[in-house]
Structure 1
Amino acid sequence: MPIPRPFRPLLVPAIAALVIAGSPPMLSNALAAEMPSRLEVQAEAELHVVPDRATLSAQLWEHTPAIAQRKESANDPDALREARDRLEARAASLIRALEEMGLEREAIHAGSLNVQLEHLPGERRAEGEQETLIRTRLQRPVRLQLDDLEQLPRLLDALTEAGVDALDGVSYDLSDRDAATDEALIKALEKARHKASLMAETLDIELGEVITVSETRSPIFQPRMMAMSADARESAPRAEYRPGTISIEAGVSVSWAIRR
């Protein structure tokens, strides 16, 4: 009697291979249905705006007489009081002059009194050592807000006539920052749409609806410090001050679906 051979499932590998061979197209179609083709574009735009507001910072200060550091009473109360009276009188005179030239009271911000001890080099003594002098500086900051830039030269002339001890500079700004940042963002979006339309026309594809949109760079507004240019010729009647422009940059990323 012949011995039966063991059963070998020859069809199983073939069927498995057929299933495996047919899986990739099926999976690709499923993924394609779930993840439609898209066109993604990034764009950046820069907006230059002429400022219409300025903030000016100045300093007024007075000093007490310098005395030797070795003295027991370095801060003389009478000297401090006299220096403070001179400083307050100068500040009041400056504020009156600014109001007379048409500056609103709300636009004038006079800071609080600041007292600082200063060390100065003195004369050399017989022993060869250099004596150290000390004095007290009383200081008041003044900050002015100007909505009419045409008045800036007159304002600076008034500060000069008042004898300000330091001019920290002018910071140019915009009265409506939101409108400027919105315009920069719109400009970036329009540039992204133009780029996408150009790419679709060149590649002969049709754009569908917008899938995603995001900011890659939020519009940042940075006030601009004063750029002062004075004509060095003696015939020039006055110095000329030009605000220039403020730059605002914005960036976006937009993706469109590609219609089949």
Structure 2
Amino acid sequence: MTSIVSVLPNRPLSFVRNIALAAGLSAAAMTAVPAFAQDQASITAIGSITMEGRGTVSVAPDMAVITTNVVTTAETAADALSENSASIAKVIDAIKGAGIEAKDIQTRGFGIYPRYERITDGSNRQPNIIGYEIRNGVEVNVRDLTKLGGLLTLVVESGANSVDGIRFEVSDPEEKLDEARKKAVEAARHKAEIFASAAGVELGNIMTITETGTQMPRPMMMRAEGMMMAKADAVPIEAGEETIGANVTIRWSLK
């Protein structure tokens, strides 16, 4: 005969007893009911605790990216291009001479733009082209920040007349992120142990662990002010610090 206990595993004790009596079970058969109900109670009494943890790592940027340009104007596009090409070649040579490898120098933002006359007589006629502007730039990865200030001055002295900005970066963010993840797990466990101790229980095994978010360094832009001076001391640079973070949510069973 199939046990009524196994058929109705999740019913209250009183319900199981009533079903047993209705089925005409003997008193001996019913003695198994209390023991089963106690087992069920012990199982459902096991709880869990869920905690969030956050870990952060402060890291100083170890590289910078600058974009410097040469802008030239002339009456014809050919003349503007010839002058621009000669000037940007000098800038690139100066950058390489400062110890920057060719792989860290990339052409960016080349363009030819017509320049139009200003119409001052109030007519609706189309303005005439009076010349051309050539803009050609290079993006440079500076992996040694001690060279950055001197390099900014150097590119201006060698012919660059526009520096769009400086972007500071961390070259190995994933490695630092792993450190933040470890700290996040430690923080979550620390809080869980405090709560469990206060409640008079012990942590069991981890049931689930989920990464709920990360914080990676966002490139910090810095405008290169005062870069149009023909001669200058090395530009003062402060890279500051970036924060890399990770959030986790962990669920433990309770003993």
- What TM-score does the superposition give when structure 2 sets the normalisation length? 0.74
Whole-angstrom distance in 1 between the partners of 2:90 and 2:150:
16
Q: How much does 1:18 deviate? A: 5.0
Q: Which residue among 110, 114, 132 is the counterpart of 1:136?
A: 132
Q: Which residue among 37, 46, 49 is the counterpart of 2:47?
A: 37
Q: Which residue among 82, 85, 96 is the counterpart of 1:85?
A: 82
Q: Which residue among 150, 160, 167 is the counterpart of 1:164?
A: 160
Q: Which one has a larger percent strand, Structure 1 or Structure 2?
A: 1
Q: How much does 1:251 deviate? A: 0.5
The one-letter amino acid paired with 1:113 is F
Report the 3-state secondary structure (helix = DSSP H, G, I; strand = E; otherwise coil) of the residue aligned with 1:257.
strand
Report the count of equivalent residues: 221
Report the 3-state secondary structure (helix = DSSP H, G, I; strand = E; otherwise coil) of the residue aligned with 1:121.
coil
- The aligned runs of 1:194-209 (5 Å cut-off) are 194-209=190-205
Whole-angstrom distance in 2 between the partners of 1:52 and 1:213:
32
The one-letter amino acid paired with 1:225 is M
Q: How much does 1:248 deviate? A: 1.5
Question: Structure 1 pair 130/164, CA: closer, same or farther in 2 (3 Å)?
Answer: farther
1:136-170 alpha-carbon deviations (Å, 9 max, x no partner)? 32221210011100000111001221232321211
The one-letter amino acid paired with 1:184 is A
Contact kept in structure 1, 2:152 and 2:234, CA below 8 Å: no
The one-letter amino acid paired with 1:215 is E
Structure 2 gap segments, 5+ residues each: 1-12, 20-33, 227-231
Q: Which residue among 120, 142, 147 is the counterpart of 2:143?
A: 147
Whole-angstrom distance in 1 between the partners of 2:223 and 2:204:
48
Contact kept in structure 2, 1:57 and 1:170, CA below 8 Å: yes
Contact kept in structure 1, 2:165 and 2:224, CA below 8 Å: no
Q: How much does 1:93 deviate? A: 0.6
The one-letter amino acid paired with 2:89 is A
Q: How much does 1:255 deviate? A: 1.0
Q: How much does 1:175 deviate? A: 2.0
Whole-angstrom distance in 1 between the partners of 2:152 and 2:138:
13
The one-letter amino acid paired with 1:36 is I
- Structure 2 residue 214 is the aligned partner of structure 1 residue 218: yes
- Structure 2 residue 45 is the aligned partner of structure 1 residue 49: no
Whole-angstrom distance in 2 between the partners of 1:237 and 1:84:
30
Q: Which residue among 56, 68, 85 is the counterpart of 1:58?
A: 68
Whole-angstrom distance in 2 between the partners of 1:239 and 1:163:
16
Q: How much does 1:37 deviate? A: 0.6
Question: Structure 1 pair 224/86, CA: closer, same or farther in 2 (3 Å)?
Answer: same
- The aligned runs of 1:177-192 (5 Å cut-off) are 177-192=173-188
Question: Structure 1 pair 104/42, CA: closer, same or farther in 2 (3 Å)?
Answer: same
**Equivalent residue number for residue 7 of structure 2:** none
Q: How much does 1:118 deviate? A: 4.1
- What TM-score does the superposition give when structure 1 sets the normalisation length? 0.73
Report the 3-state secondary structure (helix = DSSP H, G, I; strand = E; otherwise coil) of the residue aligned with 2:159.
coil
Q: Which residue among 149, 170, 174 is the counterpart of 1:174?
A: 170
Q: Which residue among 97, 101, 106 is the counterpart of 2:103?
A: 106
Q: How much does 1:237 deviate? A: 5.7
Whole-angstrom distance in 1 between the partners of 2:17 and 2:223:
72
Question: Structure 1 pair 86/27, CA: closer, same or farther in 2 (3 Å)?
Answer: farther
Question: Structure 1 pair 51/35, CA: closer, same or farther in 2 (3 Å)?
Answer: farther
**Equivalent residue number for residue 116 of structure 1:** 113
Contact kept in structure 2, 1:121 and 1:130, CA below 8 Å: no
Whole-angstrom distance in 2 between the partners of 1:146 and 1:220:
20
Structure 1 gap segments, 5+ residues each: 1-16, 66-78, 231-235
